Structure 1
């Protein structure tokens, strides 16, 4: 970038004088060419320059998409404090609100005798008008991908099903059939939930089939939310009046009431639905629940692809861990303590092909597909697991598959199994571990569990390390604890997630101990959260965060997505943007009283510093001006003294001449008298007449006048002025003279600095001495410009000498040179106030660069994540109303004042009070070896945390 100093004066502006007036013309912006890079820079300089451009200097993230979103502000206030609540409390509140919403809608619809039409998720209008807001998410790529969803019509439940029933013999895994959406993970989660009574019923809260309104609740970002939908569903075939190919094929022969028969064949029963469907022709709970889940996330496309564990979390409020088959340490423990507790403490899902490679099916098991673990049994030495394919078809063909040799009549009775391609199949525990690569284990929380949560937002650096911001909590009672570090679920605002993907890790430390208690295990697939379960002692703890950010340059930044859709998809952008704003309101950083106090102190220190700098700047200007005034005054005094001496010498000479002439006249007069007395008849003739005294005075006066003109050392044009701009040579000369003659404390010879410092200040405040301004606004000191008066009148020299002496006496008074005064507070207030009220500077002139703009400087690294910590803990009946966990966020204070040397002792005391945690590298990072100090024995102790690390 260029600054004012690099712009030539001839280009930045022009100065003109007209009739003695000095005016500044309009500034003409100039252009500056940046030279090419210095090819001779060292490699280290090149690397430093690169990293300097790589990361943004102003990190941040859009927290609100919708302008003036007051709802997000209210949500931010509600989630600012960490309060421990029972795990069921949030669900009960959301369920109560959902029932109230449904009741109000039913009352409104009955009053106007109309079925409920959801204005925020209307499938019919969306399909007829072609907006596709319920089908497609916001596009955040440069090229819009083609959507694979192509439903043909929309009808209500009562028009699709002959005898619709929400449940027929309750919700079961056998009801589930996947439609044309890639949400097998969600349907697998529903299959898993169907094993535990009442779990699905807890999601489907309220409904009125006659009015056509249904209410559901889902778990999102640590709390339950409610969602209301109508009973419209997408169908695979178009209506009879709007069909073309189907109608041609259907009317290939004469039919009685072709339209009704067409409806029964193509648009009736579960088989006619485009998305999820129940096995029974008249059961409706599954497609309606899927629709509500899609609406909660914005559209059907947003739930295309996922993981079973995330779906179970959203439907139960549990916490899911990702387990890999190759990482299981004790397979016996995994069987007895985990798989055998399925449907009790845990729910399980499994999958294969986790690395993204697709090889079809392995003996009936499909890769990149989710399955539900329905049951685990240990009978007669056989460890068997019952799995469910959410497709409702496709089964394992190995041992214990339908029709295999392992089955006998006794085993069919023992396991209550029947053959058939219904998606249910048994597999041995050993084959389960061989054929499936990953397990999603979800812990369920009962009413004996409480949870405390808190969110924050932080900037993620490119370098992977533990962050300066961390969580701290106190545990008042020893017991089982589940610690969960999560980020916002981007699926709810798909399209506005930005370019960065975050992977979470954390490390738990106890106060006063160098070694960490436990670390989280990074998930490969489930990046939404990481967690650990352990028995924790009471005490103070800190949770250090390590967040890995990766950037996808193929995705567009949030601001570009908003710009691209603000016109053509306003309704969609409003809906998704509201979800984005409410989610990010959780992590809004609320300033604490200590931070507010530190900020005000920092702002005051900044103001004081600016004030002190301005004071020094003005004082430098005054010292310089005062120095030049004193110097000019001394030179003026010397000139006047010299002129006075010459005038006195001439007056003395004229006096002597006058006395000599008078003596001559006296002698001549005496001679005449003596001649007259001696010889009265003798006539004496003089050779030439003696000039009269008046003539002598006139001649002397003219001579004095001429001499005065010659001897006067300077004129107005020759005399330098302290307030006019000086050339570089004059500045150097004056500086040299200052070092020899008069040495003030600090002298600044920068005219630009002087003009900047005194801009807007009255003359009396800038120069305390008697000073005036010329027509151009330049300050001219009356003392420094006073010239000796030249005799232009034909007056006697004595009179002029007397007047000159009087003027010189008056001008030689030292009080005419003003003394150096300090800057008053009022003057500083005036200048600062005027600077604040000055209009902003014009935009900089365009820069013509000889090189292309650096790509990292143009689009630098700017990763910002919103993360939350949830702590689940068991409580007894007597501890239900106690705050067992107190959670807070500790972040570096950017306004903290640098400690001075005298505060070092106090700092050491404060450090002792703080939790003693290590932000060093992990123990299994080989780079940590370089951070250890001492002998080999001391370093070993440091690794084992037997001694504090230096």
Structure 2
């Protein structure tokens, strides 16, 4: 049922209505959750914080060396402890045996809720009578694990029927039968047999073909594989690996427990087996060798490197479900530290240039590819599936003509029962092109092993996307800078920009990236960000390159490679965003799963916090703490100000009372100090309330004012009463004066003493009254302000400073969540220049940032 339209207020102009709409549309204080848990819970685990805006610069291999060192030290400590306890290693952070019933190592944080919602939506379709054929979309697997399984579920992100981005992927439900150690599964386990090889790789029940294609791409390069698998002790059962994440290398270790497809015999059958013969047969037939593994496996029955590498990759991402669905180029990046670029084959401008890079794939580049389309297959090829490019070669045929051929591999490692998975055109196994001449020249053998040859042109025609990964050695320097930006609803280039300074000219690789959300799935939020950037010279006169993603679904990073002369250059980022309000907000996930699955939230929440703990990215939790402290200081200052104000008023009143008492005293009288503090006064004091006190003060002020008026009147009337003395009175006065001289001399000293005593008594009386007043106010008095605070407040009072008003809270329309898109982005620059730098710059004025112009045209959504 459609939501009823909101009634218009025709008392307002159309522009006012539009403005009000946008006021409600955007959140007034945009921000991002940068910390799931308070810093105090694991402060020592976070890397040292860097001041905002600080960038890191190092040799491209420095981070790798640090991770390798850390990994080897971990393995060494574990071996020492296991020797002491005489136990094999069990990984407490990824214990798949202990977690077998809970399944946190298999599934993501929100898996069960997502699955329930999915089937709920499906049930609604059935109820509406529109669910015919919908069952095809709920098969809970990623890709076939044997020749009997058809590839109904593509494992590339963005395939039909999937959510976009990392959130893509069939809601995998894994159901392994058991967990056992290597020495239980394999008769003669070996890490490798005759080294690493792409032909070793066979995909299991996870939809990680994209990653396995990446592994196959580098498996024929021993130097690259040894960079990933850096330490192990097979007897203890501990294996150490390093991976590249968000611009830095990280290390991890795993034990040798693995998932098996079949359950143990005692769980599988309810049969009497007193000798154990049936159990042993069940184990040998269904739980022994590589073929018994639930996830990836080596083609050799006793080789173990691939399932353990896959386990480590799943661990660093949180679970096996997290690595389902992706892009081969990203997988190569994660294992080499290189930079990948996606190429769309039908857009290739110069095919000869691409061919030269393919032929050089054993040097600076490695390649992979993927077939794409809405149908599950395209001829014999599987769509939405990743493949490895193993070799490119140009050979001469029997007639002297040059032929360009490419060797490709499917990570399934075999065809399906329907014959799908390998190329069946020219140069496929058994085709007419394979003469004895070519079989010998290319050393090719026919077989159902996932490997096949095809011409260069056929590759471009049948694989829509190619992934080229540039590799780096110690000749390269890498510098990076991270920040966070608020992304508006209207797309455009941001007013924050990165400034690159090159001292030594040469090839430069520039990468704009966002945090890899695969590491904290379930906490991604509602926004998917798509990155673009423009590189221009410092003055903005010349645009050197403009970069945008080949696909919106593949936007973990975008990059460019070009030759630059020494100088300063600017990178202007542009971020477009898509919002999915059906996804959960981060704060909602935290509050719900803290109760439903606290163990999994601790694991994924820590990954989230570590990802956001980067120099240049403000810690929102710390900002909130600072705001609270500032608010507290303001409150204390306010109290001190009020206290000082009361002190000042009391001093004024004391002076006024002293004046009043002096004025009211009869001439020549003395003050009876004993009258102060009488019984009646005490009774009156007890009866006084705050209201009475106020009335008395008002009366007192009125009396002082009235007395001042009387004094003025007396002064005005005094000249009228004075007249010139007559001669008779003058003679009489002279006579009186003669008699009074002696009296004045005698009484002068007495009058002075009396006046001094009276003045002292007046001061004593005022002081006692002030003391009583202070005792009455003691109950409500705040702590006495410091002298500095009092002085500061008095200065404020003298300037008549007004109190700051709090910002009014915005009342948002119920049921609508305002726009709040904040993205964490980083710029990495690789150059063969040890002095390369990158800094973050913001516009000098708001106008400058709002009016970016490029090529004399305003920068907008379409550039």
| Cα distance, 1:512 vs structure 2 | 2.6
Cα offset, 1:160, TM superposition: 0.1
- In the other structure, the counterpart of 2:73 is 100
Determine whether 1:345 maps to 2:364. Answer: yes
- Give 3-state SS (helix, strand or coil) of 2:79's partner: helix
Match of 1:920 in 2: 853
Deviation at 1:861, TM superposition (A): 0.9
The correspondence of residues 402-413 of structure 1 with structure 2, limited to 5 A, is 402-413=429-440
- 2:388 aligned with 1:372, yes or no? yes
Deviations, residues 642-675 of structure 1 (Å, cap 9, x unaligned):
xxxxxxxxxxxxxxxxxxxxxxxxxxxxxxxxxx
Assess if the C-alpha contact under 8 Å between 1:219 and 1:314 holds in 2.
yes
| Equivalent residue, structure 2, for 1:136 | 107
Unaligned runs of 5+ in 2: 1-5, 119-170, 397-401, 415-420, 661-689, 719-789
CA deviation map 1:477-536 (0-9, x unaligned): 111100111111110111111111111111112123423222113231321101110000
- In 1, the alpha carbon distance for the partners of 2:7 and 2:861 equals 41
Quick one: distance in 2 between partners of 1:787 and 1:412?
120
1:891 aligns with 2:809: no
- Conserved in 1, the CA contact under 8 Å of 2:361 and 2:367? yes
SS of residue matched to 1:52: helix
- Could you tell me how far apart the structure 2 residues matched to 1:541 and 1:169 are? 49
2:286 paired residue number: 266
Instruction: Deviation per CA, 1:696-719: give whole Å up to 9, x if none.
Output: xxxxxxxxxxxxxxxxxxxxxxxx
Q: State the partner residue of 1:699.
A: none
Choose which of 401, 408, 411 in structure 2 pairs with 1:387: 408
Residue in 2 that maps onto 1:89: 62
TM-aligned CA distance change 1:217 to 1:776, over 3 Å: same
Change (3 A) 1:765 1:304: farther
Cα 1:767–1:493, aligned 2, differ >3 Å: closer, same or farther? farther
Work out the CA distance in 1 between the residues paired with 2:643 and 2:861. Answer: 53
In the superposition, the TM-score normalised over structure 2's length comes to 0.71
Match of residue 813 from structure 2: 854
Q: For structure 1, which segment, 863-872 or 132-141, has the greater mean C-alpha deviation from structure 2 after superposition?
A: 132-141
Q: 1:315 aligns with which of 322, 335, 344?
A: 335
Contact residue 75 and residue 586 of structure 1 kept, 8 A: no
Q: Does 1:569 align with 2:597?
A: yes
- Between the aligned partners of 1:461 and 1:266, the Cα distance in structure 2 is 56
The answer to whether the 8 A contact 1:587-1:866 is kept is no
Moved more, 373-382 or 273-282: 373-382
The answer to whether the 8 A contact 2:531-2:558 is kept is yes
Between the aligned partners of 1:832 and 1:36, the Cα distance in structure 2 is 49
Shift, 1:256, TM fit: 7.4
Please tell me whether the aligned partners of residues 343 and 465 of structure 2 are also in contact (alpha carbons under 8 angstroms).
yes
Corresponding residue number in structure 1 for 2:698: 780
State the 1:360 CA deviation.
2.7
Q: CA deviation at 1:824?
A: 9.1
Cα shift at 1:589? 3.9
- How much does 1:917 deviate? 13
Q: Does 1:187 align with 2:92?
A: no
TM-superposition CA deviations, 1:36-59 (whole Å, max 9, x none): 973332221111111111111111
* Distance (Å, rounded) in 1 between the aligned partners of 2:795 and 2:711: 41
Contact 2:477 2:836 in 1 (8 A): no
Assess if the C-alpha contact under 8 Å between 1:769 and 1:781 holds in 2.
no
Q: Is 1:66 matched up with 2:37?
A: yes
Q: Counterpart of 1:47 in 2: which secondary structure?
A: helix
**Residue 198 (structure 2) pairs with residue 227 (structure 1):** no
Q: CA deviation at 1:281?
A: 0.4
**2:595 is paired with a residue of what secondary structure?**
coil
Question: In 2 relative to 1, CA 768–590 (structure 1 residues): closer, same or farther, beyond 3 Å?
Answer: farther
Q: Partners of 1:219 and 1:157 in 2: how far apart?
A: 27
> Structure 2 vs 1, CA of residues 785 and 138 (structure 1 numbering), >3 Å: closer, same or farther?
same
Instruction: Deviation per CA, 1:883-914: give whole Å up to 9, x if none.
Output: 42122112368xx9x99xxxxxxxxxxx9xxx
The within-5 A match list for 1:369-768 is 369-380=385-396, 381-393=402-414, 394-524=421-551, 525-589=553-617, 762=649
Describe the superposition over 1:278-320 as per-residue Cα deviations: whole angstroms up to 9, x where unpaired: 0000000000000000000000000010010000000111000
- The within-5 A match list for 1:274-293 is 274-293=294-313
The C-alpha deviation readout for 1:402-461, integer Å capped at 9, x for no partner, is 111111011011111111111100111111111111111101112221111121112111
Q: Does 1:173 align with 2:198?
A: yes
CA distance 1:158–1:476, shift in 2 (3 Å) = same
- Structure 1 spans left out of the alignment, 5+ residues: 1-34, 616-754, 790-803, 814-822, 876-882, 900-910, 930-942, 944-950
- Rounded to whole Å, the distance in 2 between the matches of 1:553 and 1:86 is 42
Give the Cα separation in 1 of the matches to 2:52 and 2:287.
47
User: In the alignment, what sits opposite 2:723?
Assistant: none
Look up the SS of the partner of 1:293 in the other structure.
helix
**Corresponding residue SS for 1:468:** coil
Between the aligned partners of 1:481 and 1:172, the Cα distance in structure 2 is 32
SS at match of 1:401: coil
Secondary structure (helix, strand or coil) at the match of 1:138 reads coil
CA contact (8 A) 1:760 1:834 kept: no
Superposition pairs for residues 244-259 of structure 1, below 5 Å? 244=269, 257-259=277-279
Is the partner of 2:241 in helix, strand or coil? Answer: strand
TM-score, scaled relative to structure 1: 0.65
Give the SS at the match of 1:124. coil
Contact 2:217/2:388 (<8 A) preserved: yes
Taking only aligned residues, the RMSD between alpha carbons, in angstroms, comes to 4.2
Does the aligned pair in 2 maintain the 1:920–1:928 contact within 8 Å?
no
> Contact conserved, 1:523 with 1:530, CA < 8 A, in 2?
no
Question: Which residue in the other structure is 1:795 paired with?
Answer: none
Deviations 1:178-198 (A, max 9, x none): 000000001000110013232
Aligned length: 675
Alpha-carbon offset, residue 760 of structure 1: 9.4
Structure with higher Rg: it is 1
After superposition, the Cα gap between the structure-2 partners of 1:756 and 1:826, relative to the gap in structure 1 and judged at 3 Å, is: closer
Question: What's the secondary structure of 1:777's corresponding residue?
Answer: helix
Question: Does residue 241 in structure 1 map to residue 266 in structure 2?
Answer: yes
Once the two structures are TM-superposed, the CA of residue 64 in structure 1 deviates from its matched residue by 1.1
Rounded to whole Å, the distance in 1 between the matches of 2:221 and 2:856 is 42
Name 2:180's counterpart in structure 1. 155
Q: Find the partner of 2:347 among 327, 334, 337.
A: 327
Residue 332 of structure 1: CA displacement?
Answer: 2.4
Tell me, yes or no, if the aligned pair for 1:511 and 1:917 is still in contact at 8 Å: no
Match of 2:822 among 855, 864, 882: 864
User: Kindly tell me: are residues 925 and 439 of structure 1, through their superposed partners in 2, closer, same or farther at Cα, counting changes over 3 Å?
Assistant: farther
Change (3 A) 1:412 1:766: farther
1:111 aligns with 2:84: yes
Instruction: Please say if residues 493 and 579 of structure 1, whose CA atoms lie closer than 8 Å, have aligned partners that are also in contact.
Output: yes
Give the distance between the partners of 1:106 and 1:863, measured in 2 at CA: 47
